A and B are shown apart, each in its own frame.
Chain A
Amino acid sequence: MLEGLLESPVKERALLFIHVAGPSYAREIARTFSLNLSSVQNQLLKLEAAGILYSRLRGRVRLFDLNPRYAFKAELERLLEKALEFVPEGESRLYRGRLRPRRTGKPL
């Protein structure tokens, strides 16, 4: 959807994933879409350098999220929301992982 604009399908998926799932780490995104880990890391770092994402360490994991201080955050979120509508059915389930909490010990 946004490949022409973002010039990278990895970047597009990373942005869409973070938009839907919130703070995410590179391995999680790479695993979800069967992408090369270093490609995902590379795109996340580029987005961070551009001020679009920010990251913070949680234990040993670096989580990336949309930067609330990014000047075009609201506009970007609208664009990503629109782009989600065009994600093919086969792939859209990848953005629909369970986000609501589940108590510890409760069977899945």
Chain B
Amino acid sequence: MTLRNASLRRLALLVGDRLRRRGVEAVLTGGACVSIYTRNRYQSYDLDFVLLAAQDKKAAGEALRELGYRPDGRHFRHSDTPFLVEFLAPPLSIGAAPVRKIAEIRAGRRTLRLLSPTDCVKDRLAAFYFWNDRQSLEQAVLVALRHRIDMKDVKAWSESEGMAERFAVFLRQWKEKKNQRAAR
């Protein structure tokens, strides 16, 4: 199977499906979800899957080898594609809060489990809150502009992380961009 020219979305579906068939429960997180939810307005090259059970790491690696990926340090690399795959240790959480609802994307018979748009926004905001990463703030705004987001949930989570002021920064930027779009 050639992975040349495969988009991040297609590759994520392929990997996600292969993992499922191996009985490995994994959820796509991080910048790859932003790429998918923004149709590549932000392009990530990292497919970060959180394993729901730490003991599945070996089976996950075997599933990737079947696709032609090879381990390279903590990552898996494929000669036909620039997209790297990494398996992150459980738990699936955003800050101190566990992720309860997992979204799914289907294409044909393939299914990919990933963060919901609301959790994707929280995940990016966590990077902004904890690392002061402005690029992640922009990504959170991009996702929030394109999807229905549970802002009450994002606000409550932000407050529980002690980040009410930073949430206000996000909210202001999101509203500004939303108004600009509406005025066009």
Assembly CA distance A50 to B50 (angstroms): 11
Assembly CA distance A74 to B98 (angstroms): 14
Closest B residue to A45 by beta carbon equals B74
Q: Is the interface of B mostly helix, strand, loop or mixed?
A: mixed
Count A-B pairs with CB separation below 8 Å: 22
Number of chain B interface residues as a range = 10 to 19
| 1/0 contact string of A55-86 vs chain B (CB within 8 Å) | 00000000000001101111000000000000
Given contacts A49-B74, A68-B130, A69-B126, contact A74 B88 (CB under 8 A): no
Q: Does B96 contact A (CB under 8 A)?
A: yes
- Contact assessment for A69 and B89 in the assembled complex, using a CB-CB cutoff below 8 Å: no
- Contact assessment for B88 and A71 in the assembled complex, using a CB-CB cutoff below 8 Å: no
- Contact assessment for A74 and B96 in the assembled complex, using a CB-CB cutoff below 8 Å: yes
Q: Which residues of A contact B97 (CB under 8 A)?
A: 71
- Contact assessment for A51 and B89 in the assembled complex, using a CB-CB cutoff below 8 Å: yes
Assembly CA distance A74 to B88 (angstroms): 20
Assembly CA distance A73 to B97 (angstroms): 11
Assembly CA distance A51 to B94 (angstroms): 12
14 more CB-based (< 8 A) A-B contacts, given A69-B94, A71-B91, A74-B96? A49-B74, A50-B89, A51-B88, A68-B95, A69-B93, A69-B95, A69-B126, A69-B127, A71-B93, A71-B95, A71-B96, A71-B98, A72-B96, A73-B96
State the A residues within 8 Å of B (CB): 49-51, 68-69, 71-74
A-B contact pairs, 6 of them (CB 8 A): A49-B89, A50-B89, A51-B89, A68-B95, A69-B127, A73-B96
